[in-house]
Amino acid sequence: MELFNNILIYFVIVPLLTLGGLALCSNRGIKAIRTVAVVGASVLMVLAVMLVKMFLDIRGAGDTSEMILRSDVLWYAPFNVHLALGVDGVSVVMILLSAFIVFAGVFASWKMNPMPRQFFMWFFLLSTGVFGFFISIDLFTMFMFYEVALIPMYLLIGVWGSGNKNYSAMKLTLMLMGGSAFLMLGLIGIYFHSAPEGQPLTMNILDIAHNDAIPHGWQYLLFPLTFVGFGVLGAMFPFHTWSPDGHASAPTAVSMLHAGVLMKLGGYGCFRIAIYLMPFAANQLAWIFLLLTGFSIVYGALSACVQTDLKYINAYSSVSHCGMVLFAILMFNTTAMTGAVLQMLSHGLMTALFFALIGMIYGRTHTRDIRDMGGMMHIMPYLGVGYVIAGLASLGLPGLSGFAAEMTIFFGSFQHTDMFHRVLTIMATTSIVVTAVYILRVVAKLLFGEVQDEHHRTLTDASWEERLSTATLILAVAAIGCFPNFFINIIISSFNPVVEALKAALPSIM
Amino acid sequence: MPLSLAIVVVALPLLMFLFLGLVGVKMGRKITGVIGVLAMLVDTVLAYGVALTYFFGSGQGQMVDGVRQAVVVANPAWLSFTDTLVVRMGVLVDPIAAMMLVVITTVSLMVHLYSLGYMSDHDGNAEKGFQRYYAFLALFTFSMLGLVVATNIFQIFIFFEMVGLSSYLLIGFYYSLPAANHANKKAFIVTRLADLFFLLGIMILSYYTNTFDFDKLVFGPTMSGSLETAQSAITTAGGATFLGCSVMAWALTFIFIGGAGKSAMYPLHIWLPDAMEGPTPVSALIHAATMVVAGVFLVARLFPLYVLVQGAMNIILVVGAFTAFYAAAIACTQSDIKRALAFSTISQIAFMMTSLAVSSNQNALIEIHEGYGLGYMASMFHLFTHAMFKALLFLCAGAIIHAVHSNENDKMHGLHKYMPITSICFLIGCLAIAGIPPFAGFWSKDEILVAAYQRGLGWGIWMSMVAGMTAFYMFRIYYLIFFWKKHEVHTHHAPKDQPWTMTLPLIILACISVVAGFVPFHDMVTWDGKELHTALDMKVAGTSVLIALLGIGLATVMYRKENPLPERMANAMRGLWTASYRRFYMDEFYQFITHKVIFQGICVPIAWFDRTIIDGFMNWMADATNSVSFGIRRLQSGSIQAYVYVYLLGALLLAAITMICVLL
Amino acid sequence: MESVGNIILYFIVAIAIIVFSVLTVTTRKILRSATYLLFVLFATAIIYFQMDYQFLGAVQIAVYAGGILVLFVFAIMLTQQPGKEAEGLATHRRWLGLTAALAGVALCGYGLFSYAGFCGRLLSGGVDVNMERIGQFLLSTDKFGYLLPFEAISVLLLACIIGGVVIARRR
Amino acid sequence: MDLTLFMYLIPSLIMFGCGVYGFITRKNMIAIMISLELMLNSVDINFVVFNRYLFPGQMDGMFFSLFAIAIAAAETALALAIIINVFRIAKNVDINQITKLKF
């Protein structure tokens, strides 16, 4: 079948095969379960790297089409639903990011207990959804994979979580489901206006964008629906409150995958669907969301300053950083959008690293309250150094990923000459100081100083799989930080259609 | 020796950092230190080679028509914002960069060597974390070298952050100590705040000029420093204004704030005295000689732009002159020798800033008169000499602290007898900083004063006064450490001169401090690359020496021998003395702003708002749904009898209705 | 015109049904309740015989009175502590039941009385309902054949047997 | 005097009303089952009587009753099994007390 010649479909097939393999494992054979999971994750990683290479080759060969590696299989004719696959630079790097985090996540949940088999099965189902979302260019398929990625989260937190897990799992699921309710309305609305009068309706994003048939009046309704729908997942103020509780209760690997990849689905969706398909309303309504996201950047950072739970600090920091992603996307120029994607990559890796480390520390100390800990650097130097590196990436230190991303965003945003955008940009820029404050506060409390609890002295440093998990992420963070241009070259061409569409929608925007 | 070796000079410390950080921790402590020192020695030799080649070699295009050119050795793109706005990671060699290469590698080598002894206990065993210490030193050296060879302003920003990081790591080297822990946080956050302004400045500047590169901003197409290029950069900005000032003034002021943060100008100086919690060699390297002059370097780098924007330059002048005095006033009362030296550093850096600022004047654009740019040259000269003698002073202080295990000068006193070499080296440093000929400080400070007098008599007198204070407080420290009264031996072994690893750097630096003043700076480091003709202005030189001697004399009277005079004077001016001792309450002020206003007044309410209002609303929605469904639940009681009853009534009702309808 | 015996029998049966029905649901003692139910079932069987449905009447006695009621008695014996009276009913519950029952009876009674004269007479000459015909109907697949329901009932009974065993089995 | 259809329906109706009353008011589950049997029985009578009076040439009503009796037997057997099982667990057959499965 022609479909199976496309590398993209394997990003869905491999996790599903892994899932099947896990289903065949015995519950007791932890070795077999681990082996299957590691093999699955490694194959995904290899596939992702191959995809990047193929992408570079194809682009290098002069193919400038918007999406490459296209495949299209009719799935359900009455609604013209296709299994339409295709990637551009943004999707490629997102897939790479997901593969990294899935890989690291498998090692971070090495000692998962109880029911490791079921855990990994849900884990891979979630990855299926994530990868499926990134490779699809059909509204229905995207939405379907989106839901596939959301649902396992409930069980993963509810069963394997800690603390107030039932509440958190319920809250997270309900709020995200609420978001997808908005989203579904929006998508249905888009579908019914996807083609001019008399032509068959379509679900294909590219076709919808080229048709540009959504009436302006409808755009005013559909843009907020889709943007908010995805924005909930992107932790947009004021729909971010699932994030602190959800992350606090989630098991390590789930936090990693959730903050690392799932929250990126939000930003990606905003960019790919909300803005691309409805450029007119995007231009008109951007200011509302710019205010919200600009506010949430500072708001999240300031909130993080007073938290005492490590995961809460990180969750609020995610609110701030993800706010920056949406903020940059709404700036509607290539530089800022490039920065947004870099920030997604950067935040994904760095937060995953954070959550991995927090999980490892929590697994040893059984507390996440920074007031109860101190001097961890004496006890677990490897984790301590990892934490410092993650923190430095988060506060935007050159050479680590956060810096390149944030600078690109700031400089892109500053290209706007009007007062509104500039004031917001300056406001967003101040977050680099606040971020430094809360990161250093945590680092000082947690790692430095004297050991607070004498029982902690007997704790051990990272084991080999934990080292592997964190080292993978640290390397990735450093790679983005040291060679940002490599990634920028991959993604930058993807923004042309969107920016063109935005310009066409309102010629005076730039 | 090709100039491209500058790349190696920069890269070698980075490799050392990676090597020591990744591999070194598995090796023995002592051996990593030795490796670090040897690598640094190689680096220093290379740096000297590059500098000498640049200044005195021929070819390679560094000299065109008697004008020194900036040579870009490498300039690969690192991060592309737009097609034109590209951040490059380059290596540029020009007079100030070459000079800074020499300064940084020299001091760094001395500190590397010195640390072998300092970071060991009295039996010569290296401390825990020795490898980490050397790795961080290498990281710092790399960052600082990267900063000075930057080809564009964004690269400077990047390395500003990097030196900030290395400074953070090294201040917090003894991370178990709460004070160190607190100090490094403070240093990082204060400089980060300044960097925020720096960033804003870069954003504005780059938006209007559409470039980061110095060759477009200040060097021009021929790479020679030129006012024309700078002018064109400013013209590109057009007449854009913001709040009544031109955007260029805003941009350059913001950039200066960035530099002021690193260079500890008032009111962003508060981190530097606290940074003395780090190991003393670190203070010598970072917080006396190199990193703290990054701000000066930054302003010097953009000097042609600043010259054209008088507003920004005046701000620098005022801030610099005030800080020089302010820090000197505080230094007169400090009892912790490292803090006293730190304030002395602030004061001296402010000298450099002031010197840069005075060299512009109102009619700079109209005519470039003879001796114009003297301040620039003087500033760089002072930067050079100051780095040497301040490093010397700090290393001496380190030796003393290592010997008596305390920073407080009332634990010292009368050490001259026990540590004669240290004492002499310290004296040389003091003479140099006080400006006594022929020591290095005299020459550079004299040029600064000349430049200040050229700008205006008032500025000159002010700076001369500060110079006098400098002489006073330095000798106060000197006397209090080495004389005052007989040393009381507290520890079981008496203080003595330290091992050769620590003494050798002192001697080398002392020698440099003696001779550095004779380096012909005026034809090597000038803002436009041309030779600057200077002559020793006897009037100025004479007065400055006189004032310095006056200061020394006063200090001698007060502190040579134990006497009640200082106590009496302190009592006479109790309020002033206390204010100075408490550093004019700036720390308390910042503490209030950060803790009470920002933390308690903003962060806590926001967190409360988030949990209570926003999250409360979400929970309220859930609760509302819940209670509604609990209400409805009563209908679904599960009692079959109730169901039957309701069903029956319903059926009867329907039947009755049907019947009524039929009957009607 | 019916024979007098038939009419007398009818009245005896009707009164028995009414009285014992009421007693069934009003007595406090559950065993008595079952006994009264037995009488009701017998009376019903008599009605069937009166209708010339002998087989149905026999089934009614054999299955209902003989089988089900025995089950009831066993169940009562198993679950009832001897001598313990059924608890008194909550008053509101009784009133609820009474209103519902009375309303139903009243409504249907009103309906019945409005059509009281309809089809009053028992038509003679009906089909002779003998065993052979019943058997043929039950196993026939013709228009009025009941093979499918018959088989379905068989399966249902089987399921019930299995279910009963499974449920009642002591674990 | 004729025995009309109507005359057979009256006792059946009263029987049904008693069944309803018993079903709603009784608390003992077996008593509820008994009330249920009353209702079933009354319906059976109706089937048979209607059949006999209105369609004497057919036997549908009779067969329906026949099947109803069979199903009633099955249902009772099963229900009593459940009740006994419940009694084993709860030591009680009071329908108001058996609330363990309730939300």
Joined together, the tokens standing for residue A96 give 């790479």
pLDDT of B96 above 90: no
Helix axes A116-135, A10-24, angle to 10 degrees: 170
pLDDT at D65: 92
Give the pLDDT mean for A325-342.
89
pLDDT by residue (tens digit) across B271-304? 888 888 888 888 888 888 888 888 889 988 888 7
Who wins on pLDDT, A507 or B432? B432
CB-based contact, B645 to chain D, within 8 Å: yes
Q: Do B79 and A407 touch (CB under 8 A)?
A: yes
Question: ipTM score here?
Answer: 0.74
pLDDT at B77: 86
CB-based contact, D100 to chain B, within 8 Å: no
pLDDT at A248: 84
Q: Identify which of A175, A432, A449 has the shortest CB distance to residue B178.
A: A449
What chains are in contact with A, requiring at least 3 Cβ pairs below 8 Å? B
> Which residue carries 């139910």 as its tokens?
C37
Own/partner pairs for A388-393, CB < 8 Å, 24+ apart? A388/A443, A388/A447, A389/A353, A389/A474, A389/A477, A390/A350, A390/A353, A390/A354, A390/A357, A390/A474, A390/A477, A391/A439, A391/A440, A391/A442, A391/A443, A392/A439, A392/B165, A393/A346, A393/A349, A393/A350, A393/A353, A393/A477, A393/A481
- Position B436 confidence tier, pLDDT thresholds 50, 70, 90: confident
pLDDT at B235: 66
- Residue A268 near residue A134, CB atoms below 8 Å: yes
pLDDT under 50 in chain D at which residues? none
> Which residue carries 């028509």 as its tokens?
B65
CB-based contact, D39 to chain B, within 8 Å: no
Who wins on pLDDT, B225 or B138? B138
**Partners of B213 in beta bridges:** B152
Helix axes B574-581, B310-331, angle to 10 degrees: 110
* Pairing assessment for the beta strands B91-93 and B71-74 based on DSSP bridges: antiparallel
- Residues of D whose CB is below 8 A from C144: 58-60
Give the pLDDT mean for B317-340.
87
Give the pLDDT mean for A290-302.
89
Q: Give percent above pLDDT 70 in chain B.
A: 89
pLDDT at B244: 63
pLDDT of A187 above 80: yes
pLDDT at A510: 43
- Residue B349 near residue B293, CB atoms below 8 Å: yes
pLDDT of A402 above 60: yes
- Ranking A119-123, A325-329, B123-127, C73-77 by mean pLDDT, the lowest is B123-127
Segments making up each domain of chain C, as ranges: 1-86, 116-171
pLDDT of B232 above 70: no
How close is the nearest chain D Cα to the Cα of C130, in Å?
A: 11
Give the pLDDT mean for B146-172.
89
The residue in chain B having the minimum alpha-carbon distance to the alpha carbon of residue D17 is B648
Task: Judge residue A79's burial from the number of C-beta atoms within 10 Å of its C-beta, 0-12 exposed, 13-18 middle, 19 or more buried.
Answer: middle
Q: Do B185 and A440 touch (CB under 8 A)?
A: yes
Best of B639, B646, B649 to disrupt the C interface by mutation (most C CBs within 10 Å)? B649
Task: Judge residue B539's burial from the number of C-beta atoms within 10 Å of its C-beta, 0-12 exposed, 13-18 middle, 19 or more buried.
Answer: exposed
Task: Judge residue B441's burial from the number of C-beta atoms within 10 Å of its C-beta, 0-12 exposed, 13-18 middle, 19 or more buried.
Answer: buried
CB-based contact, B639 to chain D, within 8 Å: yes
Give the pLDDT mean for C108-118.
78
- Position A43 confidence tier, pLDDT thresholds 50, 70, 90: very high
Task: Judge residue B391's burial from the number of C-beta atoms within 10 Å of its C-beta, 0-12 exposed, 13-18 middle, 19 or more buried.
Answer: buried
Who wins on pLDDT, B231 or B135? B135
Taking phi over 0 as left and psi of -120 to 50 as alpha, with beta for the rest, B371 belongs to left
Own/partner pairs for A212-216, CB < 8 Å, 24+ apart? A212/A501, A212/A504, A214/A190, A214/A277, A214/A278, A216/A280, A216/A281
Q: What is the DSSP letter of A82?
A: E
- Residue B356 near residue B372, CB atoms below 8 Å: no
- Ranking A445-459, B482-496, B504-518, D52-66 by mean pLDDT, the lowest is B482-496
Sign of CA dihedral B214, B216, B217, B219: positive
Q: How far is CA C92 from CA A370, C87, D25, in A?
A: 61, 15, 9
**Partners of A68 in beta bridges:** A87
What chains are in contact with D, requiring at least 3 Cβ pairs below 8 Å? B, C
- The DSSP line for C34-86 is HHHHHHHHHHHHHHHHHTT-HHHHHHIIIIIIIIIHHHHHHHHHHHPPTTPPP
pLDDT of B233 above 70: no
Q: Identify which of D24, D102, D103 has the shortest CB distance to residue B641.
A: D24
Give the pLDDT mean for B416-420.
80
Residue A441 amino acid letter = R
CB-based contact, B653 to chain C, within 8 Å: no
Q: Under CATH, which architecture does the C1-86 domain have?
A: Up-down Bundle (1.20)
pLDDT of B611 above 60: yes
Termini Cα distance of chain A? 46
Who wins on pLDDT, B311 or C59? C59
Helix axes B178-209, A419-446, angle to 10 degrees: 160
Cα atoms found within 13 Å of the Cα of residue A433, Cβ hemisphere only: 22
3 state DSSP class of A448: coil
Q: Identify which of C18, C125, C137 has the shortest CB distance to residue D59.
A: C137
A416: nearest Cα among A289, A509, A309, A314 = A509
How close is the nearest chain B Cα to the Cα of A251, in Å?
A: 22
Four-CA torsion B521, B525, B530, B533, nearest 10 degrees: -30
Listed in order, strand segments (DSSP E) in B209-315 are 241-242, 245-246
Cα atoms found within 13 Å of the Cα of residue A290, Cβ hemisphere only: 21
pLDDT of A89 above 90: no
pLDDT of C16 above 90: yes
Give the pLDDT mean for A98-119.
86
CB-defined contacts A:B, below 8 A: 123
- Position B490 confidence tier, pLDDT thresholds 50, 70, 90: low
Q: Do A408 and B175 touch (CB under 8 A)?
A: no
3 state DSSP class of A83: strand
- Ranking B50-54, B530-534, B610-614, C91-95 by mean pLDDT, the lowest is B530-534
How many degrees, rounded to 5, is the angle at CA B562 between CA B561 and CA B567?
A: 125
Q: Give percent above pLDDT 70 in chain A.
A: 99
Tell me the average pLDDT of chain A. 86
How many degrees, rounded to 5, is the angle at CA B599 between CA B594 and CA B605?
A: 150
How close is the nearest chain B Cα to the Cα of D57, in Å?
A: 30
- Residue C64 near residue D69, CB atoms below 8 Å: yes
- Ranking A279-288, A444-453, A455-464, C118-127 by mean pLDDT, the lowest is C118-127
Q: Do B659 and C110 touch (CB under 8 A)?
A: yes
- How many residues are present in chain C? 171
pLDDT at C88: 58
Q: Identify which of C22, C47, C115 has the shortest CB distance to residue D18.
A: C22
Give the pLDDT mean for A8-23.
90
Separation of alpha carbons A338 and A409, rounded Å: 8
- Position B367 confidence tier, pLDDT thresholds 50, 70, 90: very low
Give the pLDDT mean for B589-603.
81
Q: What is the largest CA-CA distance in chain C?
A: 62
- Position B414 confidence tier, pLDDT thresholds 50, 70, 90: confident
CATH class of D5-90: mainly alpha
Who wins on pLDDT, D89 or B657? B657
The residue in chain B having the minimum alpha-carbon distance to the alpha carbon of residue A415 is B207
Task: Judge residue B479's burial from the number of C-beta atoms within 10 Å of its C-beta, 0-12 exposed, 13-18 middle, 19 or more buried.
Answer: buried
**What pTM was computed for the model?**
0.82
pLDDT at B221: 45
Joined together, the tokens standing for residue B415 give 């050490």
Give the pLDDT mean for B426-443.
85
Residue A415 amino acid letter = Q
Best of B640, B647, B649, B652 to disrupt the D interface by mutation (most D CBs within 10 Å)? B640
pLDDT by residue (tens digit) across B345-363? 999 899 888 888 886 654 4
Q: Identify which of C93, C104, C111 has the shortest CB distance to residue B648.
A: C104
Best of B635, B644, B647, B648 to disrupt the D interface by mutation (most D CBs within 10 Å)? B644
pLDDT at A44: 92
Termini Cα distance of chain D? 58
Who wins on pLDDT, B233 or A213? A213
- Residue C47 near residue D45, CB atoms below 8 Å: yes
